[in-house]
Structure 1
């Protein structure tokens, strides 16, 4: 992006789109990390407990590792990339400063609009206080609680 608009509303729309793209990419990355872990566990089991890194030429930068380890082994996303929250509260954007809660989402849900991060406790409290759960990611099921009106 070489030039950005000057008005705040368009900048916020661009920011929301970029964050949504990042979350979708991060979800794929997490899936791949899980699959890599499963393969590495299978390699360890099949080789009598030795990990792939213990075999000659199989560590990072030596062929089999393709020079990259799963993000979880390096300690998370690269510097400057926002950490994805576990839970988020979607809020309705109004012209004033007040933002009305709309839905609770799982952090990896691609259906959220303008949102702010929530802790697990805040997500449970919001759902119990009547904020609706997202019908796609179903945070109430992931949180293990029931809500009267799931939609």
Structure 2
């Protein structure tokens, strides 16, 4: 379950992302059922996920070393992706001091581009975004610095986990 959080402001950019990647293998309709339960929040723990996958005869490959956040020069880049044997969908954010762009790709085709000058952008599924947005709202201070934002993003990652 991916979560990438980006803050872009006039004094800098902060980005944080999880490292989990889950591969689903098996019958497509059963995979979709499992993913729906997982991403809707019905499944809340690794144990519940493994049990439900077994019941649906779905094989999972779970890794916790994915590199979803990186730096290219002065630009922070975060990416979430959805990959099947036939297609790859990716959503990226490029952030730097005072500007960001969001790009969606289907294969190598650019699907949409959005941008702005300052914002907090959260990538994830419905449940992770709700938790992240609530934690940010409950803990945001008007006068804050980039280090405090980094600490807040760490708290968000803990709350979502």
Which of the five TM-score ranges fits, normalised by the shorter chain? under 0.3
TM-score, scaled to structure 1 = 0.22
Q: Which has the higher contact order (CA 8 A, sep 6+)?
A: 2
TM-score, scaled to structure 2 = 0.21
Comparing both structures, which one devotes a greater share of its residues to helix?
1
Q: Which has the larger radius of gyration?
A: 1
Comparing both structures, which one devotes a greater share of its residues to strand?
2
